[in-house]
Structures are given as structure tokens and as C-alpha cells.
Amino acid sequence: MENKTLIIYNALLTDSSIESSGSLVVKNGKISGVLLGQIKDQESARLAASSLGKLEEPVEFFDAGGLVLMPSFVDMHVHFRYPGQTQKEDLDSGLRAAAAGGFGTVVTMPNTAPVVSSAKLARQIMSEAAEKKLARVFQTVSITKNFGGEDTSEISKLSVEEFPVISEDGREVANSAVMLEGMKAAGKNSIIVACHCEDPYLATAARPYRQRALKFMENYGIPAGKVNATVEGVPDSVNFEIDGCLTAANRLLALAEDAATERNIEVAKTAGCHIHVCHCSTAVSMDAVRRAKALKKAGKTPDGFDCTVEVTPHHIGLAGTDAPYLRALVNPPLRSEEDRTALIAAIKDGTVDVISTDHAPHTQQDKAAGSPGFTGLETSFAVCNTVLVKREGLSLSRLSQLMSENPSKILKLNSGKLAPGFEANLVLVNPDEQWTATPENFYSKGKSTPFEGQKLTGRVHATFFLGQQVYSLKN
């Protein structure tokens, strides 16, 4: 780390416990001082920073322009498609998208080609990512070897310091006995098991309905990757058939999520394991998490058990029971308005721990063929700020807790707060700036988002990783 001092002044400092005009002093990649009070010029900033001790030369100044300076965001759930699927995303495009979205740490999923099933491959990916110096990457290792659903032997070789999270994301471990074995091994090493809760047999039952809908969409030139596309001349009977098939699929997929969430929580209790429920999207599943947390708080669960839960920006921002968002294909699907409001209620009552993007880039050809998932890193803050802060009345401090502090605590990171000694992973935002989501301007290779063309409120202006600026909106 370069030996210098960075002073960021003329900012509105905001984290889970601070909301004040102020400045930050950064040395060797960490916050060395927090100065509260308005400072608008370099000389005043230097003088104030000098009161904390001798400044390491050279001193670099950054005028925040009165914007909000927060800890950069931590995403516990992204897909960078590396290795093997670089037509969808790679480390360069994924990390640049993360920086543009204000993220300083991301947890990448193992559903790549090959599947990341060994510590050796995961270390190689993390080493390559670290060379980019754009954000920290934790690469998850799969629960079972090559997603085969049987061999969990690699888990016992993992250390929590290197591999705080493992996951089979993109699918479920179908065999409950195998899941129990994997969770027991993870529990012994204090490793979190992040679960894509979806009963695979119910998911298989839902697949023909989606495939039938996609066939109709293909025949009538309806693009599966663009929810707001207008296609003339489609008979009402065809639209009725498409939407009916997708509705039938989504009902089965809701049941699949609810059944698997209950199962995985119960298995985690028996195993004495920390389960992290990924992309929770239904009221029923959220209630299961709420009950598990209540039992944990009451001291009625086995030693080692814990339960945390994430929701995504798209599940809190959109309902998917009607057109056009019924046709926005993602797993889990966009749910009903009742489910969406239940997720927001769970954020407000403290059940939800973190917001994660489930950033899932695809090529346009893959989306047209029905690949589920959206790109999400570059719209995450804006969607959450628009929905939770501007509409629902949450404070920016609370949003910072959900997007920065809480995931940092879960991952045991020295970040997520604006305090001396914490890493200088920072994001500068304008929470009042409106902009239109335009996928062709994204750094991510994935251009499919249900927020395309929408006016969002809240924009990332700059991102710092370990004290170094890695993104600027101006450039």
C-alpha cells in the first residue's frame, strides 16, 4: 500500500451510526481519523487533519462536493462466470461493475465451468482478482464436488479465514443426508452455508411451463430478455397462454422455495451450522427465517446454529404476477405484491440481515433462450435507495447497515463503518440524483435488467478501495 495520506473533505459522512458533515483521513488503506463538522477547503482540511497527528507526505485531497460518503457496499451473492463463461462476464468486467456500483467486497458463486469445487481453484481465482486492485473477492467453494450432490469431502479442508462461505448456488443439494453431512463439516470449521433454497423436484415440475411459454415467445418474436419490449400483432390467446404458463411455473417455484427453506433450516439446526438463506423472496420463507431467528434468540437452538437472510433489490422493487414483470425470468421469480411488501416489512422489523444483488449476467442470446437472472451491481444502490429510502422512509444509515455493516460483520471483515482502524473502502453517492438505467452503459457484460429505462434516484459518484479511487462517474 502506497505510503501517503488521503483527506476526503466536504462530505456528509453516513454509516449505521453517523450522519454528519465531516472529513476522513486515510493512511495506508485504512481510516486513521474522522473529523466531524463542515470543512470546505483544502487548507482547513489539512489543519484539521494535523490535529490528529503528523500527516504522511504526500498528502492527497479529495473534495466530496457535499455528497454522501459511506462505507462501500458488500455483496454476499454475485456471479462473475469465471472461469469458463467469459462470454457472460469475466473478472475485469465484473470487478469494474462492482466498483461502478459502489462495492468493495463481493462473494462469488461457484457455478462456473468447471464448478469451483476445490480450495486450489478458488485460491487461483481470488489471486487473479486481487491483482486487479478493484475490490475484494471471496470465492465460494461448492458444497458437493462438481455439483454432483454426493461428495462433501472438500469442506473439511477449508479454513473460515479463506473461505467464510460455501454454496451450491444455482441449484439445491437434493439429498437431505448429504446436506446434513456438508453442514456438519461446515459447522466444525465455522463456515457459513449459503443456500439456494429450491426443491429440485418441484423446480423440475415447473420447467415445462416455462419452456412452453418461451416457445410461444420465440414464435411471436417476443424477447425474453427485455421486459418492456412492445411486439405488435400477438393474439390475446397467445399472451394469455404465455402468462398462464409462467404463472403456473411460478406457483410451483414458490412452493419449491418454501419447502426447501424449511428443510435447510431444520438440517442446519441439527448440524449446528450457520445457514445463510439466499435471495429469500416469499412471505412464507421469510416467516420460516423469522421463527428460526426467534428460537436462536431464545436460546432454543443447538450450539453453532445461526440463521441470516438476504433479499435482492429486484425482489423488493418489483412484483411479478402481471405483465411485463411476469415475463422477467429470474430464479427465484419475481413474486406477488404481498410477498414484496412482506420482504420490506422484514427489512423494517430487522429480520432481513443484508441486501445482495444476485448479480447474474447473461448474453442476450442466453436470455432469449430463457436463462434466468439479471445484472444488478450497477443498479443496486439506486434501486434500494429509491424503494427503501425515498418510498418507504428508511434512513440512509439503515441502508448502510444492510448493504455494508451487516454483511461485513457476517464475513468478519474490518469494514462497513466510518471509524478509525477500519479499511478505507468507501463510496460517494448523491442520494437525490435521478438517472435512467441504461444497460448499454454498464461495465458488466450482462445487459439484461428489469429496471431498463426506469428513472431511479440515487447515484454512485466515486468508489475507493483501500484508500485508492477505483471509480469515478466523471470518467
Q: Which of 306, 358, 366, 432 is catalytic?
A: 358
pLDDT of residue 2: 60
Does residue 1 have a pLDDT over 60?
Answer: no
Q: What is the mean pLDDT of residues 311-330?
A: 95
Residue 274 contacts by C-beta under 8 Å, 6 or more apart in sequence? 186, 187, 190, 191, 192, 193, 268, 304, 305, 306, 307, 308
Q: Please, which pLDDT band fits residue 475 given cuts at 50, 70 and 90?
A: confident
Q: What is the mean pLDDT of residues 17-24?
A: 97
Q: What is the mean pLDDT of residues 113-120?
A: 98
pLDDT of residue 53: 85
Provide the total of helices (H) and of strands (E) in the chain, helices listed first.
13, 16
Does residue 204 have a pLDDT over 80?
Answer: yes
Residue 144 CA to residue 138 CA, distance in Å, equals 18
pLDDT of residue 230: 83
Closest CA to 455 of 400, 379, 355, 399: 379
Higher-confidence position of 4 and 309: 309
pLDDT of residue 3: 72
Q: Please, which pLDDT band fits residue 277 given cuts at 50, 70 and 90?
A: very high
Higher-confidence position of 1 and 391: 391
Residue 94 CA to residue 312 CA, distance in Å, equals 18
Q: Please, which pLDDT band fits residue 12 given cuts at 50, 70 and 90?
A: very high
Handedness of CA 27, 29, 32, 35 (dihedral sign): positive
Residue 218 CA to residue 234 CA, distance in Å, equals 12
The most distant pair of C-alpha atoms in the chain lies apart, rounded to whole Å, by 75
131: left (phi over 0), alpha (psi -120 to 50) or beta: alpha
Q: Please, which pLDDT band fits residue 146 given cuts at 50, 70 and 90?
A: very high
The mean predicted confidence, pLDDT, of the chain is: 96
Helix H or strand E segment including 259: helix 236-271
Residue 424 CA to residue 402 CA, distance in Å, equals 18
Q: What is the mean pLDDT of residues 20-41?
A: 96
Q: Please, which pLDDT band fits residue 323 given cuts at 50, 70 and 90?
A: confident
pLDDT digits (tens, 9 = 90+) for 86-103: 999 999 999 999 999 999
Is-catalytic flag, 169?
Answer: no
Closest CA to 318 of 307, 309, 329, 308: 329
Q: What angle do CA 354, 357, 361 make, to 5 degrees?
A: 160
C-alpha cell recorded at residue 267 = 438440517
For the chain, give the percent of residues with pLDDT over 70: 100
Residue 162 CB neighbours (<10 A): 14
Q: What is the mean pLDDT of residues 172-176?
A: 97
pLDDT of residue 284: 98
Does residue 450 have a pLDDT over 80?
Answer: yes
